[in-house]
Amino acid sequence: MSELLTCRRCGREQPPMPAPPLPGATGTEILASTCGDCWQEWEKMEVMVINELRLNFMEPSAQETLTRQMREFLGLSEAVDS
């Protein structure tokens, strides 16, 4: 695979992940700008964020909060899509 991306979070040049890790525009943005290593770090951090913030996914704001935390962790733009 000759195509590399420069990860926004760590700055390393890496091959892209094989598929978007999430559906929709957010998944496409992550695929284009985040290396697999940083995505795996987020998956571990995600559990800690959910527990620390005591997110209750029965509340609509919980997913928005988690998405905001993910975007900040990965160094993505502030825009959030549904």
Would you kindly state where each structural domain of the chain is located, as residue ranges? 5-74
In this prediction the pTM is 0.86
Three-class SS string for the chain?
A: CCCCEECCCCCCEECCCCCCCCCHHHHHHHHHHCCHHHHHHHHHHHHHHHHHHCCCCCCHHHHHHHHHHHHHHHCCCCCCCC
Fold entry, domain 5-74: YggX-like (1.10.3880)
15-49 pLDDT tens trace? 999 999 999 999 999 999 999 999 999 999 999 99
Check residue 82 and give its pLDDT: 44
